[in-house]
Amino acid sequence: MLYFTKWKAALVLLVCALGVIYAAPNFLPSGTFPTESSYLPGKQINLGLDLRGGSHMLLEVDTDSVLRERYDALADAIRTELRQEQIRNRPREATENGAEITILRPEDVEKAREIARTAEPNTELSGEGNNIVVTYNEVAYRELIDRAIAQSLEVVRRRVDELGTTEPSIQRQGENRIVVQVPGLDDPSRLRAILGRTAKMNFHLVNNEKTAADARATGLPPGTMILPSADEGDGIREYLIDRRIVVSGDNLVDSQPTFSDGRPVVSFRFDAAGGARFGDITSKNSGRGLAIVLDGEVISAPRINEPILGGNGIITGQFSVQEANDLSLLLRAGALPAPMQILEERSVGPGLGQDSVEAGEFAAVLGLVFVIAFMVISYGRFGIYADIALMMNLILVLAVMSVLQATLTLPGIAGIVLTVGMAVDANVLIFERIREERRNGRSIINSIDAGYRSAMSTILDANITTLIAALVLFSFGSGPIKGFAVTLAIGIITSMFSAIWLTRLLIATWVKRSRPTELVI
Amino acid sequence: MKPLHLIPDDVNVPFLKFRKIFYIVSLVMVLASVGMFFTKGLNFGIDFRGGILVEIKTNGPADINALRDNLGSLGLGDVSIQEFGEPDDVLIQLQRQDGEEEAQMAALAAVTKALGDDVTIRRSELVGPKVGSELKEAGVYSVVISLFLIMVYIWIRFEWQFAVASVAALLHDVLITIGFFVITGVQFDLATLAAVLTVAGYSINDTVVVFDRIREYLRKFRKMEIPDLLDLSINSTLSRTTMTSFTTLLALIALFVFGGEAIRGFTMALIFGIVIGTYSSICVASPLLVVLRLKRKIPEAEEGQEANA
């Protein structure tokens, strides 16, 4: 066992050399190497947000509202067809559970069901008595949700890109969640402000028959609704507006913050179709109020004084400069298909991240020094070999993490420190075994041989059980904990190489060269 | 220079003779941990409870009382404010707000506004009720699944008595480590849960080393009484058990003292767990094999003859 074939020895040395080469960029200033290639050395370890500073946000897309909207539209479409067939019916409130319609005359139900069945492909018909319920089947449902999430991802990406930070990461998680990670962001409230809003903007005409207060008292005129004002600075709390959207925010092509009369305002520009409709509406409704509605609130409702024909306009309101910036950003990036909720937010300032890295590094180095010293005290020459293997193990962990572009987190540093303690375990097992074999009167070479051989299965069993715990942690943990599991798992695997093969090569070389007659261990 | 031997070479402690004492000590610790867990309960961090955490750095030493008055007046329920490592470093925690995710956002906005521009926000975390309960669920799953997988692995590699004994020792360590959190009131969050799982991995590691030796001696010393054989196995691996625990503790203590406040709870859990894990693999796991009536495997031929007779 102590005999190494040339190619085996070469293989061990090659792995070590590769480890050094791939780990090296981490000790040099970043940018020393080009990093385009995915396999060549040059990449540094990815620092987690808790170490480099930044914001992590977990958002949930309200898919129910997407469904509600779609079922509402589907019910409308079916009702249009029913009307054409003179089937009297009544709509029910839109829910996420399906498009529901009540048929008023029992003799129409059969025909109505037939119409509803064929209204749209990939739907299923249910409902009892004179109620008709149309729901999407699994395929259509999935497609609907997937499209909503894809659109949301796109809008989120555009919004986050506007912040101008480097390498933001935006990913779908599970069915309806989105994880946003923005490294190096100082102010998470900014991110919150631009991700927490749907930014659905529409133009509605203000109703000129009644005020909102009158309507509350005497009932809403048909086709109208009451919406709150975004700010109550101008004394108006609510507006009575027409339900019909005259121009939709989907027609916006650009928006910029600017100033009008020294106050921050937001300018916008429509595409050709939107511009034409806007011109048309403003020509025909001179004197009426035009409500600008953002996410169900009226930002402002200026009176139309003259036709606006160029497709350009400005939105005035009680904006601060920051708010005007954010609103124009949101309008440029487009509306989300559905509202999003922030489920989780974690932000770390760059100062704390730097402190954590320094504290972690210091602790790791100190722990390493302790362990190295202790190994030499305990095992003499063999301790030095174990220490070389330990250093090599650390280098290999760094190298593997650099190649895999694994993320190093604060608990990850703890994982490395823990591996330092545990990596020597294999050597302790082997050396203790060699001591025993020597006590039992075996020769030097036999003892070493037996030590390695009998410790082998123990090392495997012991490491595999720890590896199981690490893998479970990896699959269930989130963020920083994953980082811990990664370093622990990598550390366990690399330590098996360094503690078994590297020390064996070192000891074999020593035995061969100096032919010891006494073994101090 | 003669190398240091932590444990003398000719060590021969009759561990099995004291096994009743170990059982009582362990049973008391486990029962106390479980009892306290259900009465006093864990001090769950916002990861599992939902809520808000803000770490700030003040100009000069922080005035905790002023902060408490300032934030207490916001009407956001219990506000915990404590010094975090340094006099100018303060950790603010708010319990989960009534209502859904929006309520948490509003509370965080209120806190940052009330703190004003005089302080630097070093870290802010918000966990909504939905994510909190999901993390709790995932945490329970991960503990159960890893215990199960480890048991299966041991079962494949050894006889069933070893699997049962090692998982018993493992549960022992996990429960007592959780008990440690209950008693000290140290906050239990995602990181400390990871520490508990690592303790599980470490403890089994220690146990497996002793079991491996027992298995080897079972083949080697065919005439020895089982309790004597267990004692011999524990004693011959004692040096390794203490060495490894000691080196790991050395590294962890460095991390505990210098690694910064943020991972102190995490390292504390690991240190405690490793001490308990070392104790259990020496004093609990192997003696349990006697209770489980570990026998030498009778060769199949003999078994067949017995069946025929």
Regarding whether A396 and A322 lie in a shared domain, the answer is no
Residue by residue, DSSP assigns chain B as: -PPP-SS-TT----GGGGHHHHHHHHHHHHHHHHHHHHHT---B-HHHH-EEEEEEE-SSS--HHHHHHHHHTT--S-EEEEEESEEEEEEEEEEPPSSSHHHHHHHHHHHHHHH-SSSEEEEEEEE-HHHHHHHHHHHHHHHHHHHHHHHHHHHHHS-HHHHHHHHHHHHHHHHHHHHHHHHH---B-HHHHHHHHHHHHHHHHHHHHHHHHHHHHHHH-TTS-HHHHHHHHHHHHHHHHHHHHHHHHHHHHHHHHHS-GGGHHHHHHHHHHHHHHHHHIIIIIHHHHHHTT--PPPPHHHHHHHHH-
Residues of B in contact with A425 (CB under 8 A): 205, 244, 247-248
Contacts of B247 in chain A (CB under 8 A): 371, 374-375, 421, 424-425, 428
Domain B51-127 has CATH 3.30.70.3400: yes
Structure tokens belonging to residue A469: 């715990």
Is the domain of A288 the same as that of A226?
Answer: yes
B128 Cβ under 8 Å from any chain A Cβ: yes
**Which of A351, A418, A472 lies at the smallest CB-CB distance from B251?**
A418
For residues A314 and A378, state if they share a domain: no
DSSP E strands in A230-389: the ranges are 238-242, 247-248, 252-260, 263-270, 290-294, 297-300, 312-315, 340-348
> In this complex, how many residue pairs, one in chain A and one in chain B, have their CB atoms less than 8 Å apart?
235
**CATH level 3 topology of B15-43+132-291:** Multidrug efflux transporter AcrB transmembrane fold (1.20.1640)
Residue B9 at interface with chain A, using a CB cutoff of 8 Å: yes
Q: What is the pTM of this model?
A: 0.80
Chain A touched by B122 (CB under 8 Å): yes
Residue A519: inside a domain, yes or no?
no
H or E element that contains A102: strand A99-103
User: What per-residue confidence (pLDDT) applies to B309?
Assistant: 36
- The answer to whether the Cα torsion of A33, A37, A41, A43 is positive or negative is positive
- The pLDDT, as a whole number, for residue A2 is 65
- The Cα A313–Cα A309 span in angstroms is 9
Summarised one tens digit per residue, pLDDT across range B197-244 is 788 878 888 888 899 899 889 988 888 888 999 999 999 899 888 988
Tell me the percentage of chain B whose pLDDT exceeds 70.
Answer: 95
Pair B188, B45: CB distance under 8 Å: yes
Q: Smallest Cβ distance to A473: which of B2, B121, B194?
A: B194
Based on the fold, state whether residues A503 and A361 are members of the same structural domain: yes
Interface touch A477/B239, C-beta < 8 Å: no
Please name the residues between 161 and 220 in chain B that touch chain A, using a CB distance below 8 Å. 190-191, 193-194, 197-198, 200-202, 204-206, 208-209, 212-213, 216
Asked if residue A380 and residue A285 are part of one domain, the reply reads no
The reply to whether residue A421 touches residue B257, judged by beta carbons under 8 angstroms, is no
* Min distance B57 CA to chain A CA atoms (Å): 10
Do residue B200 and residue A469 have CB atoms under 8 angstroms apart? yes
Res. B271 pLDDT band, cuts 50 70 90: very high
Question: Number of structural domains, chain A?
Answer: 3
Residue from B118, B132, B57 nearest B92 by CA: B57
Please indicate if any CB of chain A lies within 8 Å of the CB of B227.
Answer: no
Q: Do A58 and B131 touch (CB under 8 A)?
A: yes
The minimal CB distance from B105 to the residues A342, A458, A521 is found for: A342
Inspect the interface and report whether the beta carbons of B3 and A383 lie closer than 8 Å: yes
- pLDDT tens digits, A33-81: 665 566 677 788 888 888 888 999 999 999 998 899 889 888 888 988 8
Nearest CA in chain A to B139: A476
**Which residue segment(s) compose the domain that A103 sits in?**
63-137
Task: Please tell me if residue B15 touches chain A, with a CB cutoff of 8 Å.
Answer: no
Does A487 reside within a domain? yes
What is the distance between the alpha carbons of residues A104 and A367, in angstroms, rounded to a whole number? Answer: 80
Residue showing tokens 């069946």: B307
Closest approach of A32 to chain B, Cα-based (Å)? 29
Q: What is the pLDDT of residue B304?
A: 40
CATH code of residue A206: 3.30.1360.200
Q: What whole-number distance in Å separates Cα of residue A171 and Cα of residue A48?
A: 16
pLDDT on residue A35: 59
* Smallest Cα distance from A1 to chain B, Å: 20
Q: Do A383 and B197 touch (CB under 8 A)?
A: no
Indicate whether A231 and A339 sit together in one domain: yes
CA distances, B19 to each of A268, B162, B211, B227, B241 (Å): 81, 17, 17, 10, 18
Report CB contact under 8 Å: A484, B194.
Answer: yes
Q: Average pLDDT of A181-186? A: 84
Task: Say yes or no: A246 and A376 in one domain.
Answer: no
Question: A60: which chain B residues are within 8 Å (Cβ-Cβ)?
Answer: 130
Percent of chain A with pLDDT over 70: 96
Give A455 to chain B, closest Cα distance, Å: 9
At residue B152, does pLDDT exceed 50? yes
d(CA B269, CA A150): 42
Contact A191, A180 (CB under 8 A): yes
Q: Hey, are the CB atoms on B146 and A469 less than 8 Å from each other? A: yes
Compare all CA atoms of chain B with the CA of A473 and give the residue at the minimum distance. Answer: B142
A325-342: pLDDT as tens digits: 888 988 888 889 888 988
Residue A351: pLDDT over 90: no
Same domain? A508 vs A441: yes
Both A25 and A71 in a single domain? no
Tell me if chain A has a CB within 8 Å of the CB of B263.
yes
CB contact under 8 A, A368 and B251: yes
Could you report the per-residue pLDDT of B93-144, keeping only the tens digit for each?
988 888 777 788 888 888 888 888 888 888 899 998 888 888 888 888 888 8
A-contacting residues of B 51-110, CB under 8 Å?
55, 57, 100-102, 105, 108-109
Say yes or no to pLDDT of A234 above 70: no
Query: What pLDDT was estimated at residue B306?
Result: 39
Looking at chain A, which residue has its C-alpha nearest residue B110?
Answer: A189
Distance from the B308 Cα atom to the nearest Cα atom in chain A, whole angstroms: 37
Q: What is the CATH number of the domain that holds A30?
A: 1.20.1640.10
Q: What residues of chain A lie within 8 A of the CB of B267, using their CB?
A: 414
A341 to chain B: which residues are within 8 Å by CB?
Answer: 100-102, 128
Q: Rounded to whole angstroms, how far apart are CA atoms A173 and A369?
A: 42
Q: What is the mean pLDDT of chain A?
A: 87
* Chain B residues with CB-CB distance to A413 below 8 A: 259, 263
pLDDT at A203 over 80: yes
Is A378 close to B102, i.e. CB distance below 8 A? no
Q: Do B15-43+132-291 and B51-127 come out as alike in CATH topology?
A: no
pLDDT: is A420 or A279 the higher one?
A279
Q: How is residue B118 written in tokens? A: 């005089």
Q: Which of A89, A120, A137 is the last residue of a domain?
A: A137
Nearest to B255 among A60, A414, A463 (CB): A414
Q: Does A384 lie in the same domain as A338? A: no
Cβ A502 vs Cβ A16: under 8 Å:
yes
Q: Which residue of B has its CA nearest to A354?
A: B122
Q: Do A481 and B150 touch (CB under 8 A)?
A: no
Residue A114 domain-assigned (yes or no): yes
Please indicate whether, in this complex, the C-beta atoms of A458 and B243 are within 8 angstroms of each other.
no
Which of A189-203, A223-237, A403-417, A446-460 is the least confident region? A223-237
Residue among A343, A364, A477 whose CB faces B128 most closely: A343
Q: Which of A294, A326, A346 is the C-terminal boundary of a domain? A: A346
**Which residues lie below 8 Å from residue A177, measured CB to CB, with a gap of 6+?**
A58, A59, A60, A61, A343
Most confident of A125-129, A266-270, B151-155: A266-270
Is A179 domain-assigned?
no
Q: Given this model, what pLDDT does residue A110 score?
A: 87
The answer on A368 and A339 residing in a single domain is no
Residue ranges of domains in chain B: 15-43+132-291, 51-127
Residue A395 has pLDDT above 90, yes or no: yes
Question: Among A346, A362, A389, which residue terminates a domain?
Answer: A346
**A340 and A451 fall within a common domain:** no
Q: With CB atoms and an 8 Å threshold, state whether B150 touches A465.
A: yes
Does A470 reside within a domain?
yes
